Structure 1
Amino acid sequence: MSEPRGPGPSRAPARLSIVFVSNGPGELATWVRPLAEQLHRSLQLRPRAQQSLISLRLVLVPCPNATGQEADAASRWGQFDRITPARRFWRMLLNPRLEGPWAPQGVVVFLGGDQFWSVLLSARLGYRHITYAEWVARWPRWNDRLAAMGPAVLEQLPQRFRSRCTVVGDLMADLSSHARAQAPLPDGEWVALLPGSKAAKLAVGVPFLLDTADRLAARRPGCRFLLPVAPTTSAAALERFAGSTNPIAAAYTSGIARLEPPTERCPWRRLITTAGTEIHLQEDPPAHGPLSQCALALTTVGANTAELGALGVPMIVIVPTQHLGVMQAWDGWLGLLARLPGLRWCIGALLSAWRLRNHGFLAWPNISAGRAVVPERVGAIQPEAIAAEADDWLASPSRLQGQRDDLRSLRGQPGAVAALANEVRSLLPKALAD
């Protein structure tokens, strides 16, 4: 993997570093990248501005929800002077100089993972510290500033720390305004397929959604399909998960017959299923523009449900629990237990039964609203049932518009990325921030 390196001989050492701390692919796409772009515009950071005295670095932290490909994906953006992969986090914490020179002053910005990792890093480097808190700010005492998604974060803080907190809004609220500036999709009724980004989710999601697409195409011959390829996976990985090396694929009737190159009529590569269904691959993430134009999305759980909600895209969230692989993709301690060697089958079965009884809401729009805004289908679900439900939604534009309106009402106003960038700038020495 090629990673941006520290200052070369042609430029002066950085006098200040802004260090992003993050974890998984969802946070990178929806929090890290937009804020990095905003700071590059307002501060002229390295590596884009070669002579800048401010460097932008990314530190990835250990996380069970990460894929291991995050550093490689982020390096392709050309945003960061240096990227530290999660596997080197502890080594770097013990001896920061192993990750190259550090500026004498800096700001650590928490953008995903366990908030304690950024507390440790800022203390180790002697940098100032700001946390973007989505639901709760866990370590206000060790933060110079807190940037809250909503007022609930501020209200949970002890009174003595509230002066440190500013409500900046939902970073994902800016996604839709950026998406509208992108080129329109070709004409047609577009359905997005989001099988996930982690191997455990892809093992289930790819064969399940290929089968569903075939069945929906048979019901609605004019339907067109878009599959945004996550930055931490590839078309070759999709083919592998749809093939014989994935034992779960044998439970489904569909597969991938071939991969077609782009044409003048179609700017993207296409997967052609064994039933002849065309699935267009969007391989230049983020796919917010094309996604925002889809009539409906069929998606796994995870950060993608938050992205779709921010874009106002109606969705059906699917969790087929007949496959233990989906258990191993769960977040938090449930997923960790399901991955224990030797015990995983027993624990997975018990967790599956418990989760089906007590799962609560799984999709981010539902969690945020505290009610069922989007349908969640959890259990031994089958592609035919999801295809039939998708057909019903697509046949009722007023229902789709109702879900779209509900999602937009949850999104909040744009401007959170610029507001967070201003909070970061407020922690910089005035001479460098101006």
Structure 2
Amino acid sequence: MPDSTAAITLVCNGPGELTTWVRPLARRLHELLPLRPLVPDAPFSLRLVLVPCPNATGAEHGVAEGWQLFERIWPAHRFWGLLLRPRRHAAWPRQGVVVFLGGDQFWTVLLSARLGYRHLTYAEWVARWPRWNDRIAAMGPAAADRLKPRWRQRCTVVGDLMADLSAQARDEAPLPPGEWVALLPGSKRAKLQVGMPFLLDTADRLAALRPGCRFLLPVAPTTSVQELLAYAGPANPIQQHYGTGEPRLERALPAPGSGTAPSPLAGGRALVTPAGTRIDLLETHPVHGALSQCRLALTTVGANTAELGALGVPMLVLVPTQHLAVMQAWDGGIGLLARLPILRWLLGVALTAWRMRQRGFLAWPNISAGRLVVPERVGAITPAEIAAEAADWLDHPAQLAGLRDDLRSLRGQPGAVASLAELVRGLLPPISAA
């Protein structure tokens, strides 16, 4: 007689994948199936396991808890104990599915084997362990074509999960009128330490060049307004290299209504620089609707470039290398070396020079296209240079429209989240009909 319950376990690592992959899929699964915790007596439960990742902030567990979509959530620091003795951490049904949505694919292979569950991998570029995947959901033909012929029957091309962001964004309320520019300094310490003073200085200079500009800063769910203020003020040693001074926090100005839907900025707060530049903070999530209405974005590298690309928002991708701290935010061996207390100072200059010579594309639209679609500004860049370039882009709306069209052509068609959810349902045991 079959077990009366089954568990769907999503596995993820960092903040970008959590908000753009895990959350949409979790919501779709709740629409498709009766799942605990939203349906208390349901035969299925939805669970989340976070795996160790150098790019995680440590706040992912709290963010996911706030969504109230999961019966249980395991933070990254408990992953090894969960892997070694899973039933010591929770009661696990005999049947279930483990879904890879970020991190190292091998950890989900091990977890599914340990639980005796079926396994599905969402592969952006490559499925590394097809022998142990019951199903593979490929982002596109490139990932599917890299599989050996004997594994291709397990693979379905579902599309880019982020392609659904634009469809969701259309349903959100409009921003107040204005020439909106988004500022995305990042969510990790090393990026915020450079990104906040750099972007505030850039905003001051851009506002002087184009007084009609309005600025929007989405507060990442894994950070806080208090952290942004700290990195923008004198407590941050990098701030002294920029001329903004310490901003103050104010209530956002009332937005004139353009319809019945309230502005996404209603009741919010804003940073105001000593020069008087107002930067509206967007503290609610998701932020895709507001971002999609921006003419231009100034952003660091990371998953935010994938989100902006999926929304079709033109962007300048910024990596100021004049501050060694920025290297601590990079991925891979370079980032690990730069974090070591002794080596980071001895090797900092050499690592920066080598990285600049050897680097490939950094922004996800460029990586995806294999060519330069959005500008990447890497090196000892200055706020004055970036403000001038941003003003030039804003002066040429036809060029911005062309860039937006290029990004939309890369995005693909919506529907990947629904297709992936169907694959998950197909791996569940027969009680799915109960």
Return the alpha-carbon distance in structure 1 between the equivalents of residues 219 and 12 of structure 2. Answer: 21
The counterpart of 1:147, out of the listed 137, 140, 148, is 137
Confirm or deny that 1:259 pairs with 2:256. Answer: no
Deviations 1:101-133 (A, max 9, x none): 112211000000010110111011111100000
Preserved CA contact (<8 Å) 1:14 1:55: no
Matching residue of 1:102 = 92
Preserved CA contact (<8 Å) 1:19 1:56: yes
Confirm or deny that 1:306 pairs with 2:306. Answer: yes
Matching residue of 1:398 = 398
Name the aligned partner's letter for residue 314 of structure 1: P
TM-fit CA distance, 1:275: 1.1
Matching residue of 1:31 = 21
Return the alpha-carbon distance in structure 2 between the equivalents of residues 410 and 261 of structure 1. Answer: 38
Preserved CA contact (<8 Å) 1:217 1:277: yes
Name the aligned partner's letter for residue 154 of structure 2: R
Return the alpha-carbon distance in structure 1 between the equivalents of residues 269 and 182 of structure 2. Answer: 15
Return the alpha-carbon distance in structure 2 between the equivalents of residues 255 and 25 of structure 1. Answer: 30
Preserved CA contact (<8 Å) 2:96 2:429: no
Give the stretch that moved more between structures: 347-356 or 359-368: 347-356
Name the aligned partner's letter for residue 43 of structure 1: L
Deviations 1:300-343 (A, max 9, x none): 00000000000000000000000111100001222111112211
Preserved CA contact (<8 Å) 1:213 1:225: yes
TM-fit CA distance, 1:99: 2.3
Confirm or deny that 1:217 pairs with 2:207. Answer: yes
The alignment covers a number of residue pairs equal to: 422
TM-fit CA distance, 1:346: 2.0
How large is the Cα RMSD of the aligned pairs? 1.2
TM-score by length of 1: 0.95
Return the alpha-carbon distance in structure 2 between the equivalents of residues 102 and 411 of structure 1. Answer: 38
Residues 341 and 248 (structure 1), Cα distance of their counterparts in 2 relative to 1, 3 Å cut = same
Confirm or deny that 1:371 pairs with 2:361. Answer: no
Matching residue of 2:357 = 357
Preserved CA contact (<8 Å) 2:373 2:403: yes
Matching residue of 1:287 = 287
Give the stretch that moved more between structures: 343-352 or 130-139: 343-352
TM-fit CA distance, 1:48: 1.1
Return the alpha-carbon distance in structure 2 between the equivalents of residues 299 and 37 of structure 1. Answer: 28
TM-fit CA distance, 1:174: 0.4
Residues 272 and 168 (structure 1), Cα distance of their counterparts in 2 relative to 1, 3 Å cut = same
Name the aligned partner's letter for residue 196 of structure 2: V
Preserved CA contact (<8 Å) 2:233 2:247: no
Name the aligned partner's letter for residue 328 of structure 2: Q
Return the alpha-carbon distance in structure 2 between the equivalents of residues 376 and 14 of structure 1. Answer: 53
How high is the sequence identity, in percent, across the aligned residues? 70
TM-fit CA distance, 1:418: 0.3
The counterpart of 1:21, out of the listed 8, 11, 27, is 11
Give the stretch that moved more between structures: 353-362 or 338-347: 338-347
The counterpart of 1:160, out of the listed 133, 150, 164, is 150
Matching residue of 2:262 = none
Preserved CA contact (<8 Å) 1:56 1:80: yes
Name the aligned partner's letter for residue 211 of structure 1: D
Return the alpha-carbon distance in structure 1 between the equivalents of residues 79 and 110 of structure 2. Answer: 11
Which secondary structure does the structure 2 equivalent of 1:68 belong to?
A: coil
Preserved CA contact (<8 Å) 1:425 1:433: no
Preserved CA contact (<8 Å) 1:169 1:415: yes
TM-fit CA distance, 1:97: 2.5
Return the alpha-carbon distance in structure 1 between the equivalents of residues 30 and 417 of structure 2. Answer: 12
Preserved CA contact (<8 Å) 2:34 2:43: no
Return the alpha-carbon distance in structure 2 between the equivalents of residues 161 and 72 of structure 1. Answer: 38
Confirm or deny that 1:185 pairs with 2:185. Answer: no
Matching residue of 1:121 = 111
TM-fit CA distance, 1:94: 1.1
Matching residue of 1:59 = 49
Confirm or deny that 1:231 pairs with 2:225. Answer: no
The counterpart of 1:174, out of the listed 164, 167, 189, is 164
Matching residue of 1:337 = 337
Preserved CA contact (<8 Å) 1:84 1:99: no
Structure 2: segments with no counterpart, 5+ residues: 256-264
Name the aligned partner's letter for residue 212 of structure 1: T
The equivalences for 1:412-427 within 5 A come to 412-427=412-427
Which secondary structure does the structure 2 equivalent of 1:351 belong to?
A: helix
Preserved CA contact (<8 Å) 2:229 2:247: no
Matching residue of 1:407 = 407
Return the alpha-carbon distance in structure 1 between the equivalents of residues 104 and 148 of structure 2. Answer: 20
Give the stretch that moved more between structures: 202-211 or 344-353: 344-353
TM-fit CA distance, 1:262: 4.3
Return the alpha-carbon distance in structure 2 between the equivalents of residues 118 and 303 of structure 1. Answer: 21
Name the aligned partner's letter for residue 84 of structure 2: L
Confirm or deny that 1:47 pairs with 2:44. Answer: no
TM-fit CA distance, 1:50: 1.4
TM-score by length of 2: 0.95
Which secondary structure does the structure 2 equivalent of 1:284 belong to?
A: coil
Structure 1: segments with no counterpart, 5+ residues: 1-12
Which secondary structure does the structure 2 equivalent of 1:225 belong to?
A: strand
Confirm or deny that 1:275 pairs with 2:275. Answer: yes
Residues 14 and 186 (structure 1), Cα distance of their counterparts in 2 relative to 1, 3 Å cut = farther
Matching residue of 2:195 = 205
TM-fit CA distance, 1:258: 1.5
Residues 19 and 303 (structure 1), Cα distance of their counterparts in 2 relative to 1, 3 Å cut = same
Deviations 1:162-187 (A, max 9, x none): 10000000000000000010000000
Return the alpha-carbon distance in structure 1 between the equivalents of residues 312 and 273 of structure 2. Answer: 29
Return the alpha-carbon distance in structure 1 between the equivalents of residues 254 and 276 of structure 2. Answer: 20
Matching residue of 2:321 = 321
Residues 381 and 433 (structure 1), Cα distance of their counterparts in 2 relative to 1, 3 Å cut = farther
TM-fit CA distance, 1:273: 1.0
